[in-house]
Chain A
Amino acid sequence: MTNCIKCMVVHPDNVRDWEITPEGRVWPCCFFANAWDKRHDTRSHEHARLKEDSPIWRLMQEDSEWNSLNTHELDDIINHDIFWTHIWYPGWESENPSPICLKECNKGKSELNVNKLKK
């Protein structure tokens, strides 16, 4: 295993955060939401990364509303297999983690606080 993804929305006290866009799309974090929001930006690296995420993109093709609160219950969306396999430890520890997780949260990259001043 060469990656070390430290997800910023999974907390040690058994809490997981989620991001919901104004149109009602549920995403595991702001990086995914941002990638989705930028789908009309043809120059967006973030959206390109979402399209490179095969399991996620396959879902979008099969059911474009799979994570939409307009058509699905919140319970069902956050209990979707993909959020407990691919976007979860089995996926992060695999040889093919989500490109967004790898880019944004490998080795705690997303951490940002004043303590970094010390370094």
Chain B
Amino acid sequence: MSITKCLILINIGMKHSFDFALTTYCQAKCRSCARTNPSTGEQADWLELKHMDLDVFKRVLSQSKNIEYDWIQFCGELGDPMMHPKVEDFIVEANKYVTTMIHVNTNGGLRNPDWYARMARDYPRLRIKFGVDGTDHDTNWLYREGVDWQRAMDNMTAWFTNGGVGAWHFLIFDWNWHQIPEAVDIAKKIGAPLEFKINNRQWGLITEENRKIAWRLLEEHYDKLH
């Protein structure tokens, strides 16, 4: 049997999930993000600003009938998908081909609550993960510089209160661990499943001492650990 035939056999019955990076544009200057110069905090000089071509995306999905999709995600490495002016068209198109979930990751600070409320109602298979790392503007800004925290919270609230599925993704830094109880309270109020992750990069890395206190707070307030 040729190697090609063997490879086809390996691939039979396999599902595939795709993360389409829709754009390299972003309004934020997250210090540990690959698009940010870690020394200056400004956009990296090598970065090419580019949006994905919607026509290419449409053609790819329509011509790939042999692929069994597990899910499609719009996240990417260098930009926020909500910066793409046609993000809704990408979601509409993905919705035609994916029978499970369409995932979107965003900092939440773009577009408005009406848009999120409508999307929650119209696309039940859409799942949005909001990256918000604080319970107030100044704390969130320490990592997600450039994001309008109030707008992000309003959008996230509109999403979840209109039946949207997804999560509030909270990265724990040395400057925000004390907000764990408040974040848990807010998440309960707006019906957002809350996911904590520890930042393991140098910018804002939690100290060993604070990590122990953060862990205690999680044990006391975060139901998912029990």
B53 nearest CB neighbor, chain A only = A24
With known contacts A37-B77, A114-B197, A79–B8 Cβ distance under 8 A: yes
B40 partner residues in chain A, CB cutoff 8 A: none
Cβ contact within 8 Å between A24 and B19:
no
Dominant SS among interface residues on chain B? mixed
- Asked whether A70 is an interface residue with its Cβ less than 8 Å from the other chain, the reply is yes
**A75 to chain B: which residues have CB within 8 Å?**
63-64, 66-67
Decide if A15 touches B15 in the complex (CB within 8 Å): yes
Rounded to whole angstroms, the CA-CA distance of A13 and B13 in the bound complex is 11
A104 contacts the other chain (Cβ, under 8 Å)? no
B3 lies within 8 A of A74 (CB): no
Interface size on B, as a range, is: 35 or more
Residues of chain A from 38 to 67 with CB closer than 8 A to chain B in the complex: 38, 40-42, 44
B64/A73 in contact, CB under 8 A: yes
- Residue B121, interface by CB 8 Å: no
Q: Which of B1-30 contact A (CB under 8 A)?
A: 3-4, 7-8, 10-11, 13-24
Q: Which of B190-226 contact A (CB under 8 A)?
A: 195-198, 200, 211, 214-215, 218, 225
Give A22 to B24 CA distance when docked, in angstroms: 7
Q: A23-B50, A40-B46, A112-B200 are in contact. Are A84 and B10 (CB under 8 A)?
A: yes
Does A20 have its Cβ within 8 Å of any Cβ on chain B?
yes
Verify if B44 is at the interface (C-beta below 8 Å from A): yes
Asked whether B186 is an interface residue with its Cβ less than 8 Å from the other chain, the reply is no
A18 CB contacts on chain B under 8 angstroms: 16-19
Task: Please encode chain B, from 33 to 49, with 1 for each CB lying within 8 Å of some chain A CB and 0 for all others.
Answer: 01000000000101010
Query: Given A18-B19, A112-B200, do A37 and B78 touch, yes or no (CB 8 Å)?
Result: yes
B21 and A20 contacting across the interface, CB-CB below 8 Å: yes
Tell me whether chain A's interface is mostly helix, strand or loop, or mixed. mixed
Interface size on A, residues (CB 8 A): 37
Query: Which residue of A20, A79, A112 is within 8 Å of B19 (Cβ)?
Result: A20
The answer to whether residues A113 and B21 also contact, given A15-B70, A74-B63 and a CB cut-off of 8 A, is no
The answer to whether the Cβ of B76 comes within 8 Å of any Cβ in the partner chain is yes
Q: Chain B nearest CB: distance from A31 CB in Å?
A: 9
Q: Check if B19 sits within 8 Å of A17, measured CB to CB.
A: yes
Q: Which B residues contact A (CB, under 8 angstroms)? A: 3-4, 7-8, 10-11, 13-24, 34, 44, 46, 48, 50-53, 56, 60, 63-64, 66-67, 70, 76-79, 195-198, 200, 211, 214-215, 218, 225
